[in-house]
Amino acid sequence: MSTRDTFYITTPIYYVNDVPHIGHAYTTVAADVLARYWRLRGRDVLFLTGLDEHGQKVQQAAAKAGVDPQAHCDRLAPQFTNLWDRLNISHNAFIRTTDKPHQSVVQRYLQQLFDKQLIYKADYTGWYCTFDERFWTEKDVVGGLCPDCKRPIEQLSEHNYFFKMGQYQEQLQRHILEHPDFIRPESRRNEVLGFLQTQKLGDLSISRPKSRLSWGIELPFDKDYVTYVWFDALVNYISALEYLPQGQPAGLRYWPANVHLVGKDILTTHAVYWSTMLMALEQPLPKTIFAHGWWTVDGEKMSKSRGNVVDPNKMVDQFGADAFRYFLLREVPFGQDGDFSHDAMVTTVNAKLANGIGNLLSRTLTMIERSCAGVIPERGPAVLPELEQRIEELASQLPGKTETGFSALQFRDVLLMIEELNGSCDEYIDKSAPWKLAKQPEAQSQLHTVLNTSARALRLLALLLYPFMPKAAAQMIEQLGLSLDLSQPLAAEAGRWDAPLAGSTIKKGASLFPRIETKPQGAKPVSDTPASPQPTAAAPAATQSPAPATTPAAAPAAAQPAQITIDDFMKVQLKAAKVLAAERVPKSEKLLKLQVSLGTEQRQIVAGIGKKYEPEALVGKTIVIVANLKPAKLMGIESQGMVLAAGDSEVRGLATFVEDVEPGTKVK
């Protein structure tokens, strides 16, 4: 048995009947990030997820399909387990409430409470819809109609069993007050407290007569009844410990759970029903119940009827599991509601991943490959001491600061800290210009300092990113030529800034996050443009730069461009554009593929400036582009504009600005 510090994390168990959507993926990914983080930190982690398989909906759906409910559940369960595989979820226990051992635990607990006289039988009277076969509360019913199917409803009385939940009201209030971390975030804690302080907590009906619903766990003390689905479901968090993981049951040493992650809509069932059930069973309460917010889609509520349900499988197909995971936890602070849109997803992938971590890795490794024969060099003398110090400071503080973030489940804060280090490294590379140092034989040791510093930062970034993007992090480690198994506890030294690194032979691989192409506003897709020759100005063979503004006096008259009117000139839309990423076009000496930002929009431009510039030298520069040029394909790659450069057959220099100018600003 392990003596390590345990960490027990759970997700809600999902109704097997629902198709998994972004909400299910959200909780499960968040739980996975915590599980991976604490495993890396050496804790003994139990990560439980699973399926809620009883109840009316499953029974009805199975009847409709003409199969028995268990067969129906077995058929549907893989839609969850397959998705968790695709999203790289590292749970080590998976529960289904139809598991026999779970059912026995539920019955055992019911019997215990019954024996202690904490369960009693009474009449229940409520508004019942015969069509939907369910009760509604007084406040749900409008004009005597069922709020769901709008058919008339009737008052119905039936015998049921009740759990004496009400008697724990005060004890629960006290527990919440004495344990500030019990319900998180703070706003949700206040909601639950407010409810308990102002309303009387009633008892909870924990049975359903079999005459109405037979698909459930039979009450051990009355075979005419099955257990209410929430009582059955909540017990999963503790029953799982008795028989999962399979073959090696976890045991009660994991209890109480460290974190129950839930959506805000199911906070009451956890904070009130589950807590009072545990009090009655004389078990300690979980340390934290964290309620996260809900996703809307393009500003609207997500629903089947609106047809806007976000399918996580499609997200994995389109963007990859790592990028989707990153987006989910980067977009909004955990605990608040968020809005999903395809555009927001693309922006995150391009701005934070392709131009962020992906670009830092690829530019660093490219330079190590070219200038150091693929071996990470030893540090030399300082090049930009202030920036180097800032990077080192950030890097040294990050392990501590991110631990605080993970402990508070503030995933977004952790990612912002990671992005800050990434940004400082980009700035460092832009300012130290290693591609220039590489050309100066006397500056080799300075070059080594820059490359060693970037590689060090990348190693740390990989470790910090691992819980969020396990595959990408493993690839970063591999490309840096390091051998670290990130699924195992990591020695604290491995994350230190001064851990040895020089001498490692890199293995530059495929780009981690290929950019997602977006169509420029107002530009037609290339396939719509005529296949006939493109305007020469956009042609690749030329320098991709227009003629210089002043024509050499000696130029033959025939080469003099015709005069144009101001109206002609005004047709050309020039704009300031910031280079986000740059790479060489394969098999071309001249062409570079640039990704530029025009503020609200991103463009891809192919420019014939590759003889003059190394791609790395351009990232971060603000240049001038012709923004309303018809897109053209150059060596099969779409170019959505043209850069302005001085020079004729040979490029002398790019047009840039003396002052800092916002990308997208008009140039006149």
User: Which residues are at the interface with ligand MSP (CB under 6 A)?
Assistant: 12-15, 18, 23-24, 26-27, 52, 233-234, 236, 262-263, 265-266, 294-295, 302
C-beta closer to ligand MSP: residue 108 or 508: 108
The two three-digit tokens of residue 104, written as one number: 């026995």
Measured between alpha carbons, how far is 96 from 238 in angstroms, rounded to an integer?
13
* SS3 per-residue string spanning 88-100: CCCCCEEEECCCH
Q: Which of 68, 70, 85 is nearest to 20 (CA)?
A: 85
- 47 neighbors 32 (Cβ within 8 angstroms): yes
Strand partners of residue 575: 625, 666
Q: 260 or 515, CB closer to ligand MSP? A: 260
Q: How far is the CB of 303 from ligand MSP (least distance, A)?
A: 9
Residue 220 C-beta: closest distance to ligand MSP, Å: 21
Residue number with CB closer to ligand MSP (20 or 358): 20
Nearest approach, Cβ of residue 50 and ligand MSP (Å) = 9
Q: What is the DSSP letter of 215?
A: S
- Residue 187 or residue 440: which is nearer to ligand MSP going by CB? 187
Please report how close the Cβ of residue 131 comes to ligand MSP at its closest, in angstroms. 22
Q: What is the DSSP secondary structure assignment for residue 630, as one 8-state letter?
A: P
Q: Which CB atom, from 5 or from 148, has the smaller least distance to ligand MSP?
A: 148
| Smallest distance from ligand MSP to CB 13, Å | 5
Closer residue to ligand MSP (CB): 61 or 494: 61
Minimum Å gap between C-beta 337 and ligand MSP is 8
Q: Which is nearer to ligand MSP, 12 or 312 (CB)?
A: 12
**Distance in Å, CB of 272 to ligand MSP, minimum:** 13
Q: Which helix (H) or strand (E) holds 223?
A: strand 222-227
Closest contact distance (angstroms) between CB of 464 and ligand MSP is 26
- Give me 560's structure tokens: 């003099």
Contact between 392 and 641 (Cβ < 8 Å): no
State the minimum distance, in angstroms, from the CB of residue 4 to ligand MSP.
27
Q: Which helix (H) or strand (E) holds 595?
A: strand 592-597
- Cα separation, 287 vs 408, in Å, equals 12
**Six-digit token pair at 468?**
């969020």
CB of 14 to ligand MSP, least distance (A): 4
Question: Residue 160 pairs with which residues in a beta bridge?
Answer: 122
Task: Look up tokens 């593929």; give the residue.
Answer: 593
Distance between CA atoms of residues 113 and 219, nearest Å = 12
Which helix H or strand E contains 225, and what residues bound it?
strand 222-227
60 or 665: whose CB is closer to ligand MSP? Answer: 60
Q: What is the DSSP string of 296-319?
A: EETTEE--TTTT----HHHHHHHH
Residue closer to ligand MSP, measured from CB, 20 or 615: 20
Residue 492: CA count within 13 A, CB half-sphere:
5
Environment class of 227 (CB within 10 Å of its CB; exposed 0-12, middle 13-18, buried 19+) = buried
Report the residue number, 102 or 363, with the smaller CB distance to ligand MSP. 102
Tokens 């190394």 identify what position?
Answer: 614
Between 229 and 592, CB nearer to ligand MSP: 229
Buried b / exposed e along 501-532 (16+ C-beta atoms within 10 A): beebebebeeebbebbeeebeebeebeeeeee
Q: Which residue of this chain has its Cβ atom nearest to ligand MSP in the complex?
A: 263
CA angle 147, 151, 153 (to 5 degrees): 80
Kindly state the smallest distance separating residue 285's Cβ from ligand MSP, in Å: 15
